[in-house]
Amino acid sequence: MTDRLDVLREIAVGFDTHDLDRIMRHFTDDAVFEGPRGVATCGSRFVGIEAIRDVSEWTLRGTTVDAQRLEVRGCDLWTFDGDRVVKKDSFWKIRTG
C-alpha cells in the first residue's frame, strides 16, 4: 500500500508542477482515463497512454457563462496493476446556489 501512496503523491506533485512526464510515467501503456463529462455514462473515455497524455492538462475556471461563481469538488478513483496506474476515473460534485 505504501508504494501506491508514494505513486499517488508523485502524481500529485506532477499535477502541482504541471510536469506531464512526471505524471505519465506512472501509467501503463494501455491505461484508461474516464473524465467526468461526456455523452457516455462513464464520461469521456481515453484509452492508451498517448490518448491520456493528450488530455491530461486541463483547467476548471470558477465562473459560468452567465457569470455565476462555480464551486467544484471532485475525486479520482485510481486502479493499479502493481505500482502502475491502469485506470483513473474522475467524478465531480458541482455546488449550485
C-alpha cell at 10: 508523485
pLDDT for residue 65: 84
Based on the number of CB atoms within 10 Å of its own CB, is 84 exposed (0-12), middle (13-18) or buried (19 or more)? Answer: middle
Q: How far is CA 73 from CA 10, 46, 95, 97, in A?
A: 21, 22, 8, 15
Considering the chain, what is the average pLDDT of its residues?
A: 83
Instruction: Go through 21-46 and write b for each residue having 16 or more CB atoms within 10 A of its CB, e for each that does not.
Output: ebbbebbeeebbbbbbeeeeeebeeb
Q: What percent of the chain has pLDDT over 90?
A: 32
What is the reported pTM?
A: 0.68
Interval 53-68: pLDDT, tens: 877 545 455 777 888 8
What whole-number distance in Å separates Cα of residue 84 and Cα of residue 97?
40
C-alpha cell at 30: 494501455
Q: To which residue does cell 464551486 refer?
A: 71
